Structure 1
């Protein structure tokens, strides 16, 4: 039995075993015993994960894939779930235990998967997988790079991001129209932010909405005091600021709001 990739699910099945094994080996499997694989399809990555000394949960929306996986990989350390990761409460699966996330992610929801991993970061020490190449590069980009943006800053506030390797279209069925890229995120040892997290998200998103303007202009909606706007950081554009500088900026804005209201 084989499965036809479904366009509406964004399925592109990886057919290169060597690359599948390489992706499985991007996780360290240290400090946790659970791995969540998102979008296993026909199990090309699953087969290498279940060789590891871990518990694997393979989650897919496609009922045909679920049936195929159950028939093909009867394994005591593999749990197969028909579910939508973006709508799932992972505490119902893992309780309060740590779990890594891995997958050849559907490109149309890949950034949403990253943001959900960020939301669940208290339980997600590692995350790796395949994205559209430009999205993977954007996640891993550093300040000063033209691809550096909202996704870069908000991911790297909590995780160290590393672009690992590029995958060409011809190893997929059907081949996507773009190259793919594999990355790894490793949760920072100290991922508690020295600022208000919700405010950081708002500052970063507002700043990058007008990325060509200086922060003095793009952050006008925050009603900053004249004194704060004199700070040299406001003369820079958002793409020039490191993650640490964004955290510092957020703290300055929060302090300014308190002093203005006093």
Structure 2
């Protein structure tokens, strides 16, 4: 067996060493055995072996050369299925052509976890399920409902298209090396929404602008999106702060801004 991979700080690697946690994470996508699965950052394959054992059609994306060599040596069944590539730069629609649905899973590097979920969102029409582990604070943010302080840009953008659930917390001591924070496992399943019923680009702009000045009321943070010199609409939504709004209210706000223009 090829020797264990040394964790690399620059890549944000914290290898999970608790088999029971690995199996529990892999089990999150058990109901979706009919679709292929892309694992992000498999490292030494602690999740991969359970995904393969469960019969999933697995591909893995890894940028660490040492990890790739380890996987090739220890998982011959991954022959032709290891992508030596940065997940954030992969054209997922080319990897799964003809609009084929697929799932994404991983023990995501803390330093790029938000970017990973933005990338998943770009392929929302194909990514049926996405689960995995990331920094607890970020995991809680993705699942945060309206009215909570943890709610942020990704909370709203993801929840517009996915049902997001925080599943469980993972302690620091099950990793090598142990991170300085706890981890959280989430699952996102695609909802039935096919259209938001508003200008989606403007919707994103409004969400990002709102949370960019989250201490301000929406009347103040969004003033620049309304035509100059035109009085702002008399809407109770504008008296709120962004974390107080549901996805439906952000859609209503987008329609309000559109009609004012």
- TM-score, normalised to structure 1, is 0.94
- The alpha-carbon deviation at position 239 of structure 1 amounts to 1.2
Q: For residue 75 of structure 1, give the secondary structure of its aligned residue in structure 2.
A: helix
Whether contact under 8 Å (1:166, 1:179) holds in the other structure is: yes
| Residues 51-130 of structure 1: pairs in structure 2 closer than 5 A | 51-75=53-77, 79-96=81-98, 97-130=100-133
- Go from structure 1 to structure 2 and tell me whether the alpha carbon gap of 1:34 and 1:78 turns closer, same or farther (over 3 Å shift): farther
* Residue of structure 1 aligned with 2:244, choices 240, 243, 259: 240
2:78 and 2:38 map into 1 onto residues whose CA distance is 15
Using the size of structure 2 for normalisation, the TM-score is 0.94
List structure 1 runs of 4+ shifted beyond 3 angstroms: 224-228
Residue aligning to 2:29:
27
Structure 2: how far apart are the matches of 1:139 and 1:78? 33
Residue 174 (structure 1) shift:
0.3
Q: 1:148 aligns with which of 141, 148, 151?
A: 151
* Residues 50 and 77, structure 1, Cα contact 8 Å, conserved in 2: no
Unaligned runs of 5+ in 2: none
Q: How many residues align?
A: 257
Alpha carbons of structure 1 residues 247 and 28: separation in structure 2 relative to 1, 3 Å: farther
Gapped runs of 5+ residues in structure 1?
258-262
Could you tell me whether the CA contact under 8 Å between 1:32 and 1:99 is conserved in 2? no
Residue 260 of structure 1 corresponds to none
